[in-house]
Structure 1
Amino acid sequence: MKIEVTSYDHPDAVALIAEVQQEYVVRYGEEDGTPVDPAEFAPPRGLFLVAYVDGTPAACGGWRAHGTAVELKRMYVTPAFRGRGLARAMLAALERTAVEAGHRRVILETGQRQPEAIALYESSGYEPVPRFGYYAEAPEAVHLGKVVECPSMR
């Protein structure tokens, strides 16, 4: 697996984002309505990553500045590549790049109908945080966060 920095509107990113939006339709009946500007995922205030397996786009995720934290968005692994540790590797890469960019806190929104995502985040040290964003009032929304540190800070 190779993880590369791409733009949010890179063709591989666009294809993966379309897949994750369809996943939301299956699980929730509609796409994620959170407003997203592709420019939010451009350095230095954001970053978007795509993971490739043998040249095939297999996973994606990004972060964007959100107040004093960064917010993770569009974490996704295509069905053909699930169960290989790509989600955990992508999460680690997103956290590492956020720290490298000077950020120390990561937040995210997910939903109760994504138990595998919740399990990944909780097993990676994410804990409940105050509700925020587009789904702050949505009963099924799950809001998590984590303080991240660079290795020299531990």
Structure 2
Amino acid sequence: MHDFKINSVGFDDPAVQLLVAENLRDLSERYGGTGDDTPIAASDFAPPNGDFLVAVDGDELIASAGWRRHGDDAELKRMFTTKAARGRGVARRMLTAIEESAAAAGCKRVILETGDRQPEAIALYESAGYVRIEDFGYYKGHPDVLSYAKPL
């Protein structure tokens, strides 16, 4: 296994947008539609009110995750690992890096929405100490959504 680096990048970087498009295709395969219609702007992830991270193996982007400020919370968005990189612990390291970035910016907890057709994501979040909370945000009240939080 190659070691990989985690870098903070601009959400609007063209290589990042290719990875985000792959993420949305994955969600679309699971749920139909466009995958995720949540309004997102590159500025959402601009420090100090957010951050966008990618995992890089050689010159290949293999994972992404971002957070944006939601009051005192950091909302996790666009957490994704490419199919070829799954099972290597990449997502867990990305989640830890997001938590560290959000804590450094003064956020009190990380909150997130995931879906009931993403069992690997649910298992990751629960094993990392996330607990179910009342739904919030764009998909609040949607039958497939599961919302989680973890104090920092």
Whether the TM-score (by the shorter chain) exceeds 0.5 is yes
Structure 2: distance between partners of 1:21 and 1:58? 15
Cα deviation digits, residues 92-112 of structure 1 (max 9, x gap):
000001111111211000000
Give the match for residue 26 of structure 2. Answer: 23
Counterpart mapping for 1:138-149 below 5 A: 138-148=142-152
CA contact 1:12–1:50 (8 Å) conserved in 2: no
> Aligned to 1:98, what secondary structure does the other structure show?
helix
Q: Name stretches of at least 5 consecutive residues in structure 2 with no aligned partner.
A: none
User: Helix, strand or coil for the counterpart of 1:137?
Assistant: coil
Q: Percent identity?
A: 50
C-alpha displacement of 1:68: 1.8
Structure 1 unpaired stretches of 5+: 149-154
> Equivalences for 1:5-154 in 2 at 5 Å?
5-30=8-33, 31-148=35-152
| Aligned partner letter, 1:122 | E
Q: What is the RMSD computed on CA atoms of the aligned residues?
A: 0.7
Deviating more after overlay: 117-126 vs 128-137:
128-137
What CA distance in whole angstroms lies between the structure 1 residues aligned with 2:42 and 2:58?
Answer: 26
Using the size of structure 1 for normalisation, the TM-score is 0.94
Instruction: After superposition, give the CA deviation of every residue in 1:4-24 in whole Å (9 maximum; x if it has no partner).
Output: 000111122101100010011
